[in-house]
Amino acid sequence: MKKKLRLALLLMTALVLGTSQDLGVLTPASFGNNHVVLADTKTKSKSVKKDDKAIKAAKKAVKKLEKDQTQENLDLATKKVKSVKNKKVKKQLKKRIVTVKAAIEAKQQEQAAQTAAEAAVANLEANQTRENVDDAKNKVNAVSDSAKKDAFNNRINAVVSAIDAKEAEAARQAEEARKAEEARQAQEQAAAEAARQAQEQAAAAAQQAQQQAAGGYKRDYRGRWHRPNGQYASKAEIAAAGLPW
């Protein structure tokens, strides 16, 4: 009977010890020759509570970041998640932060592209050249927002139309100037030709009058003088007639 009782006590002791370890109970106990010391879980409990608090703060910061995607909220969420010890939770929160960070970077890039496009289009409007048209188009092509891009392209097209009109007017004026110059040169040439012909006619008339006044003497193409009957005239005759030899 005593042996059975002792065995029952030992079994109860084992059961109590197992239950105590599962529950984290902190108490030394001794039954017969068996001694058990349960681990102190107070430190572990504080650590868990501290991490729970860190997780709660991190989740709150990440949620705020997802709602209001700013660099300030990104920095705060990153800091809060860094304090989390639970690897699984930390990994999940980091993944959410990475998604928002990519969105913020894309937004910043788009803003930079729009700023550059605005500067290039404004410069084109102030300095309307083909070179500036190309620069503005390249900057606008980097813009992702379709509405903004359409607005920029409309402004560019308006300047291009103005440039086309100016170039067409310049070409028209250049053509008129070319034709006017051609007409002026033709007029000058005609005047010069008319003057030359008039001079030749005047010279011929003077020569003819001189010849008629000199008693009918005529001079051939070699410069020799002839009498009215065709014979060569002497130097004395020509001198007497007052003609140059």
DSSP secondary structure of 90-135: HHHHHHHHHHHHHHHHHHHHHHHHHHHHHHHHHHHHHS--HHHHHH
What's the pLDDT band for 19 if we cut at 50, 70, 90? very low
Q: For the segment 53-91, what is each residue's pLDDT rounded down to a tens digit?
A: 999 999 999 999 999 999 999 999 999 999 999 999 999
Among 86, 88, 67, 85, CA closest to 76: 67
pLDDT score, position 216: 81
What's the pLDDT band for 13 if we cut at 50, 70, 90? low
pLDDT score, position 25: 42
Among 1-5, 105-109, 237-241, where is mean pLDDT lowest? 1-5
pLDDT score, position 64: 96
Q: For the segment 140-195, what is each residue's pLDDT rounded down to a tens digit?
A: 999 999 999 999 999 999 999 999 999 999 999 999 999 999 999 999 999 999 99
Q: What global pTM score does this model have?
A: 0.52
- Which of residues 26 and 88 earns the better pLDDT score? 88
pLDDT score, position 1: 56
pLDDT score, position 244: 84
Q: Are 24 and 43 in contact (CB under 8 A)?
A: no
Residue 232 DSSP code: B
Bridge partners of residue 225, in order along the sequence: 219
Q: For the segment 188-238, what is each residue's pLDDT rounded down to a tens digit?
A: 999 999 999 998 888 877 766 665 555 688 888 888 888 888 888 888 888
pLDDT at 21 exceeding the cut of 70? no
pLDDT score, position 149: 97
Which pairing describes strands 225-226 and 218-219: parallel, antiparallel, or unpaired? antiparallel
pLDDT score, position 46: 78
pLDDT at 124 exceeding the cut of 60? yes
Q: Are 120 and 112 in contact (CB under 8 A)?
A: no
What Rg do the C-alpha atoms of the chain give, in angstroms? 58
Contacts of 25 (CB under 8 A, 6+ apart): 19, 38
Dist. CA 21–CA 15, nearest whole Å: 10
Question: CA 5: distance to chain centroid?
Answer: 94
pLDDT score, position 226: 87
pLDDT score, position 156: 98
- The DSSP secondary structure of 193-214, one letter per residue, reads HHHHHHHHHHHHHHHHHHHHHT
Dist. CA 150–CA 137, nearest whole Å: 11
- Average pLDDT of span 113-119: 98
Q: How many CB atoms lie within 10 A of CB 225?
A: 20
pLDDT score, position 193: 92
C-alpha count within 13 angstroms, C-beta hemisphere, residue 243: 27
